Amino acid sequence: MENILPAYNDPLFSILLIIVIALIISLVTYAWGLYKQQKEQGNLLKFLEKFDTSECLLDTTTMPFDEHMLKPLALLAQAFDNAGEYHKAINIYLYLIKNIQEENSKLELMVKLGKTYFQAGFLERAKTIYEEVLRKKPRHVKALYMLEVVFEKMQNYSKATQILEPLELLGEETHALSNFLTLSRLIADKTLPKEQKVEQLLELLQSEPKLYRQIISVLFQLDTKAAWQSIDTTRIKELIDILWFLPQSQLSLDIIAQNEQLKTLYYAKGYTLEPATKSGIFALDMLATAKQNGFKEGDLHFTYLCTKCKQSFPIAFKRCPNCMALHTVEVEEHIAKSNPKTDYSLF
């Protein structure tokens, strides 16, 4: 035996001892990794149990899972999501998250699940999902953005603002988002006197031109004179729907008389009598020309296009309801037959 094992003062003994210690450490690390993985899986399943619902029509409880099912089922969930059948999309996302093994794929599906809950109006559930994603991966940019949107929807602007710091640390541009939150907080503040609110809105308009449409809309509710004085005559098309639905009592005839687009708009609307048909906006000029020739049953209807995802919506938005992008709304006007019931204000 003495000839087989090296003596303790033999250099080979030290090498053998190091190898044995390395093997023990490797085995312990591997065992600990398996334990942590199983514990994380158990925690995730326990976490997801809170979101199980009997309202879903698809029975996935007895459905066998195969890795090849991931992509088609994810596409099916997305189709249900786009169709507004959120309960079905949620059921499929939960099923996939519980069954797939790859951690990054799980996190991406959880982000989609959170967005589905958000769109369905379950804000607390969406918040919980995004917080769980960030607990596992604190540098997940999309989860950070979506959590900020959730806090914004909840009107918890202090929490939403706190998320700007980690986004900045990750190299994201947050200047426009910060100004948008400042505007949202300002609008929601019921304690601030109207004069101070108008003053701060005008200051914000000077520093962030991208908020032009939103600030002018709010100013028309607070101070009509300040709103008209703040209108940029080169950007009237951005406000065409707001100006079209503006009550006649809020018009500034002096400013309207000095601008051909405004004259055409309110002649077509029927608020002014002086003919004007040269605004440069095709639908508006056609409607004004028709009115000049005796056709008085025309009206303008509006749709709202997101210039980022190219989705069109019948209602104006601050954030795109589909991709959540800011400052991407483009107003599209269409000639339609007038209907007295649609003559309302956007405010």
Beta strands 329-337 and 298-306 are antiparallel
pLDDT tens track for 218-239: 999 999 999 999 999 899 999 9
Residues 246 and 333 in one domain: yes
C-alpha angle with apex 239: 271 to 236, nearest 5 degrees?
85
Average pLDDT over residues 42-60: 55
pLDDT at 169: 94
- Evaluate whether residue 6 is within a structural domain: no
Specify if 13 maps to a domain. Answer: no
* Predicted confidence band of residue 19 (pLDDT cuts 50, 70, 90): confident
Highest mean pLDDT of the ranges 24-33, 55-64, 227-236: 227-236
Cβ-in-10-Å burial (0-12, 13-18, 19+) of 101 comes to exposed
Domain count, the chain: 3
Range of the domain at 219: 173-230
Whether 221 and 243 share a structural domain: no
Q: Are residues 139 and 115 in the same domain?
A: yes
Report the pLDDT averaged over residues 11-28: 75
pLDDT of residue 147: 96
Say if residue 139 is in the same domain as residue 220: no
Does residue 277 share a domain with residue 205?
no
The answer to whether position 320 is within a domain reads: yes
Residue 54 has pLDDT above 60, yes or no: no
**What pLDDT, on a 0 to 100 scale, did the predictor assign at position 1?**
46
Please determine, for residue 278, whether its predicted confidence score (pLDDT) is greater than 70: yes
**In-domain check, residue 326:** yes
| Co-location of 91 and 131 in the same domain | yes
Q: What is the mean pLDDT of the chain?
A: 85
With a cut of 80, say whether residue 179 has pLDDT above it: yes
Looking at the domain assignment, is residue 42 inside a domain?
A: no
132: number of Cβ within 10 Å: 18
Q: Can you tell me the mean pLDDT for 98-102?
A: 85
Same domain (yes/no): 321, 283? yes
Q: Give the global pTM.
A: 0.78
The enclosing domain of 79 has a CATH number of 1.25.40.10
Residues 346 and 240 in one domain: yes
Q: What is the pLDDT of residues 135-178, one digit of tens each?
A: 999 999 999 999 999 999 999 999 999 999 999 999 999 999 99
- Pair 131, 71 in one domain: yes
* Residue 225 forms part of a structural domain: yes
Q: Are residue 197 and residue 246 in the same domain, yes or no?
A: no
